[in-house]
Amino acid sequence: MSRVIKETHALYEASERSIAIHASFIPEKQTTQGSSVLPEIHRTRIRARQVEADARAKLEQAERELEQVRFQISREEEDSKAGIQQAYEDAKQAGAAEGFAEGYETGKKSWEEEIDKAGRVVQSSRVEKEAYLEASEGTILKLAMAVAERMLGKSVLQDETLWVDLVKQALIEVKEEKEITIYVAPDQYDITVDRKDEIEAVLYQNQQLWIVPSHQLEQNQCYIETPFGRVNASLDTQFAEIKQQLEKLLEEGAADESHSTAS
């Protein structure tokens, strides 16, 4: 059941609840501008995954470079050991072994510092990758939702079928109520009244349905009231619900990845 939103209305004092999100209110056949928001959401997820893949590739490249550094340092260390040992043997005969031993320890310390430095670079890359992914996914989500909302909002104004389906979807939530009032923006009042018979088809028999224009509502906003409460069927409310669900999915995905990394 949809969540309950407490709100005072000018005509009724009743509780408000937002409808459950269903993709069915958008018809399969639409104009180019009326493309369903669901494909746009799918493309959003694809772009987010691409960002993740790019970041992962950069991390893997950094790790490969670290391995190359370690290998090079190891080779140089072995070569230096051999050279120092030979020089040590030569110097030993000349009484200078102590000086070469000190040089060897200094060189060894320098190599260890280089290895530690390379390790810090990789760790920093991991942290930057996580921050980059988190910021990028959030930005892509906001951008995609804004584009989709503009596209669908404009299409609802141009294609009355989309608007009627939006209203019908909301009516399903209250179809058992005996008295139902639909409040719409003045610009969409005529469209709604003209297709009242189609809208009533989702209801049972012997129910009273009124359609009322409200100057408090903007385009694509719709409220449905019954003696027991009010349903918010506005397009912006629908998108807010979809965005909330997407953000939850992103958070769950990030948590799963973090758990996998920790394991």
In a domain? residue 188 = yes
Range of the domain at 204: 1-30+159-235
- Dihedral sign, Cα of residue 245, residue 145, residue 216, residue 194: negative
> How many domains does one find in the chain?
2
Residue 250 lies in a domain: no
Structure tokens at 51: 């960002």
pLDDT at residue 16, rounded to an integer: 47
CA-CA-CA-CA dihedral for 7, 13, 15, 18, to nearest 10: -60
Asked if residue 244 is part of any domain, the answer here is no
- pLDDT tens for each residue of 62-86: 677 767 767 776 776 676 666 666 6
Residues in Cβ contact with 17 at an 8 Å cutoff, skipping those fewer than 6 apart? 1, 2, 3, 4, 5, 173, 229, 230, 231, 232
174-222 per-position pLDDT tens digit? 888 889 999 999 988 998 999 999 988 888 878 899 999 999 988 888 8
- pTM, two decimals, is 0.40
Residues 141, 201, single domain; the answer is no
25 and 80 co-located in one domain:
no
Question: Domain end: 102, 123, 158, which one?
Answer: 158
The CATH number of the domain holding residue 185 is 3.30.2320
CA-derived radius of gyration, the chain = 33
Domain presence at residue 253: no
Choosing from 100, 124, 158, the residue where a domain stops is 158
